[in-house]
């Protein structure tokens, strides 16, 4: 009777406890890292040097994205505007507001404003803005509803799976070129299976999945 359980089983409760603690700790650490803004980027919302609100400018005033990000159609990156673009209006509107002091200083001294970059793909990813916006992929697909954000927040994961989801099903995301900058477009009368496929064909959108499309 005394031989049924070998001697090491006396330490079993301790082993179970230690093992459980290690496993639990591992899971918690993994989740708090991999499932949060620390790793997934989603939710990253840094403090910016100026409390610029996209909600007011692009949402309520209805300004086009390209008023400020005027290089997005021509360039692989979407530029942050020069302070002079802000001063087009803010030379008159709120011209003494303390919140805009860094903008005025940047404009007068020709020094850059230290905006914090939020959306940052790894350096081995060659994402081209102009290729996407000129072929019916909207800002909203990667950046979310910027027009509703007072402070911009990293809304989509921009992981490789995120890119490939779209590259494999371009007809589901493609939209008429005149709706690319309309983040509120609901897609009425534009069925992905019919109009989407037709537009993708017309614009020559292949949604290539070759490695060298993004990695060079």
* Cβ pair 138, 199 in contact under 8 A: no
Nearer to other proteins, 2 or 212 (CB): 212
Min dist CB 29 to other proteins, Å, is: 8
* Cβ pair 134, 78 in contact under 8 A: no
Min dist CB 191 to other proteins, Å, is: 26
- Token pair recorded at residue 50: 């100026």
List Cα–Cα distances, 117 to 78, 121, 153, 159, 201, in angstroms.
Answer: 11, 11, 11, 17, 34
Nearer to other proteins, 68 or 200 (CB): 68
Told to check if 153 binds other proteins by CB under 8 A, we report yes
Min dist CB 39 to other proteins, Å, is: 6
- Token pair recorded at residue 23: 């496993």
Question: Which residues 91-110 are close enough to bind other proteins by CB under 8 A?
Answer: 91-95, 110
Told to check if 185 binds other proteins by CB under 8 A, we report no
What is the distance between the alpha carbons of residues 54 and 149, in angstroms, rounded to a whole number? 6
* Cβ pair 181, 64 in contact under 8 A: yes
What is the distance between the alpha carbons of residues 180 and 178, in angstroms, rounded to a whole number? 6
* Cβ pair 86, 107 in contact under 8 A: yes
Which H or E element spans position 40?
Answer: helix 37-40
With CA atoms as reference, report the closest residue to 173 among 190, 155, 153, 156: 190
Nearer to other proteins, 61 or 101 (CB): 61
Min dist CB 181 to other proteins, Å, is: 8
Question: Which residues 29-88 are close enough to bind other proteins by CB under 8 A?
Answer: 29, 31-33, 35-41, 43-47, 60-64, 66-67, 70, 77, 79-80, 82, 84-85, 87-88
Min dist CB 206 to other proteins, Å, is: 26
Min dist CB 102 to other proteins, Å, is: 15
Residues that bind other proteins (CB under 8 A): 17, 20-21, 24-25, 27-29, 31-33, 35-41, 43-47, 60-64, 66-67, 70, 77, 79-80, 82, 84-85, 87-89, 91-95, 110-112, 114, 117, 122-124, 153
């Amino acid at each position: 009777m005394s031989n049924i359980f070998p001697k090491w089983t006396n330490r079993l409760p301790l082993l179970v406890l230690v093992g459980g603690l290690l496993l639990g700790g591992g899971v918690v650490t993994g989740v708090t890292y991999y499932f949060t803004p620390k790793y997934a980027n989603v939710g990253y919302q840094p403090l910016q040097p100026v409390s610029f609100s996209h909600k007011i400018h692009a949402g309520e005033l209805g300004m086009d994205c390209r008023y400020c990000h005027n290089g997005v159609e021509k360039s692989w990156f979407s530029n942050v505007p020069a302070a002079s673009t802000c001063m087009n209006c803010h030379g008159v509107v709120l011209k003494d507001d303390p919140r805009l002091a860094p903008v005025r200083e940047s404009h007068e001294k020709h020094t850059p404003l230290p905006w914090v970059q939020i959306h940052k793909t790894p350096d081995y990813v060659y994402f081209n803005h102009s290729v996407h916006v000129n072929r019916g992929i909207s800002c909203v697909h990667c950046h979310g509803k910027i027009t509703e954000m007072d402070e911009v927040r990293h809304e989509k994961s921009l992981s490789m799976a995120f890119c490939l989801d779209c590259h494999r099903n371009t007809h589901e995301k493609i939209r008429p070129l005149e709706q690319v900058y309309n983040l509120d477009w609901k897609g009425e009368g534009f069925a992905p299976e019919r109009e989407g496929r037709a537009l993708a064909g017309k614009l020559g959108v292949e949604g290539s999945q070759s490695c060298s499309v993004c990695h060079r």
